Amino acid sequence: MSATRDGKMWRCQFYYKDWQGVSHKKNKRGFKTKAEAEQWERDFLQQQQRNLDINFENFVQIYYEDMEHRLRENTMRTKKFIIDLKIIPYFKKKNMNEIKASDIRAWQNALMKKGYSETYLKTVNNQLSAIFNYAVRYYDLKDNPCRKAGSIGKSHAGEKEFWTKQEFKQFLVTVENKPETKMAFLLLYWTGMRIGELLALTYNDIDLEKRTISVNKSYQRIEGRDIITPPKTPKSKRIITIPPFLTEELKEYTSHLYGIMADERMFRFTKSYMEHEIIRGIKASGVKRIRLHDIRHSHASLLVEMGFTPLAIAERLGHEKIETTLNTYSHLYPNKQGELADKLEIENSREEEE
């Protein structure tokens, strides 16, 4: 080890070779003890080896460095939060090539005792599985121990909460004196847009003559910065046709947007503001409590009730696969099956009469 005194602190200086075999000198300062400096050097050199004779914590750093160039910033932040909090503390000192299915099962059991929701358990387990899939694909790990261990949790928490049309109208009264907020909620309910898609809308995206809204980007506020990204998936880029009454609401709203540039955001608040408003409005109106995202489910449930096909709903919502629509809203279709059977009965009766 090459740890040396640096005044009252410690530093480490050493040479290493990168993945191309080029030699570099590393100089890191600011350690309180010699042991800290030496441990930092060991971890750094282990990460440079790029093989599976490496502890889990150091391999995750390699995984992070690769994935942060391929995932959206907010997706990466969420991934790191879950892994750092729920996975690394358990596996950090175990070598990647020594972690077995039995270790995964023990971790899963410990996690399930915490009382987390089924969907959260599934999400955390998927993050661990993703790390091992990465090791299998790019570092020749023989297999993913998570597959042998089996999964935990559920992808969906059961039936989605949503507002009926009457409940939405009851809620809307609470934002009548806030035109910008009211318009935002109207668009969410009657188009099924995601909140990030709504907040990214510009005047250029609205065609009042054709009664269409072009969804082609998403907005997030991350650590005080306004971030515009492509939508969630390729299918999320879509043209949504809106009904005449919503077009009139938009005309009235945009007529008061004095001085706004065509490429500026139409709604200048954030998701957190909308979350605050829906909580406030729920308390004031007395309607059942739902999440902001559940307004999207409310739109989908309205379309199901109106008799639209899963394919049409998937296209309007921007789902990548129709299976997503079917899995998410399957609980809404039994009634429709009953109506279908009744109509077949009527049709059969007509034929017999003829």
Q: In which region does residue 319 sit, left (phi positive, over 0), alpha (psi from -120 to 50) or beta (all else)?
A: beta
Residues 331, 212 share a domain: yes
Place of tokens 């059977």: 341
Q: Evaluate if residue 42 carries a pLDDT over 90.
A: no
Residues 197, 51 share a domain: no
Residue 347 maps to a domain: no
Q: What residues have CB less than 8 Å from 205, skipping those under 6 apart?
A: 213, 214, 215, 216
**pTM value?**
0.70
- Which structural domain range is residue 98 located in? 3-149
Among 76-80, 292-296, 304-308, the minimum mean pLDDT is found in 304-308
Q: Evaluate if residue 119 carries a pLDDT over 70.
A: yes
User: Band of the pLDDT at 154, cuts 50, 70, 90?
Assistant: confident
Question: How do residues 215-240 score in pLDDT, each as one tens digit?
Answer: 999 999 888 889 999 988 889 999 99
Residue 13 maps to a domain: yes
Question: How do residues 64-93 score in pLDDT, each as one tens digit?
Answer: 988 998 888 888 999 999 999 999 999 999
Residue 157 maps to a domain: no
Strands 212-215 and 218-222, bridge-based pairing: unpaired
Residue 349 maps to a domain: no
Residue 345 maps to a domain: no
Residues 195, 119 share a domain: no
Q: Compute φ and ψ for 17, nearest 5 degrees.
A: -110, 135
How many whole angstroms separate alpha carbon 239 and alpha carbon 316? 8
Q: Evaluate if residue 354 carries a pLDDT over 70.
A: no
Residues 169, 142 share a domain: no
User: What is residue 19's predicted lDDT score, i.e. its pLDDT?
Assistant: 57
User: What is residue 318's predicted lDDT score, i.e. its pLDDT?
Assistant: 93
User: What is residue 138's predicted lDDT score, i.e. its pLDDT?
Assistant: 85
Residue predicted with more confidence, 41 or 99 = 99
Residues 193, 292 share a domain: yes
Output the domain CATH number for residue 70. 1.10.150.130
Residues 112, 12 share a domain: yes
How many whole angstroms separate alpha carbon 321 and alpha carbon 4? 58
Rg of the Cα trace of the chain? 27
Residues 104, 7 share a domain: yes
Q: What is the number of structural domains in the chain?
A: 2
Residue 12 maps to a domain: yes
Query: Closest by alpha carbon to 208, among 250, 238, 237, 179?
Result: 250
Residues 175, 141 share a domain: no
Residues 141, 221 share a domain: no
Output the domain CATH number for residue 223. 1.10.443.10
Residue 280 maps to a domain: yes
User: What is residue 349's predicted lDDT score, i.e. its pLDDT?
Assistant: 67
Residues 175, 143 share a domain: no
Q: Evaluate if residue 322 carries a pLDDT over 70.
A: yes
Residues 240, 201 share a domain: yes
Residue 160 maps to a domain: no
Residues 267, 234 share a domain: yes
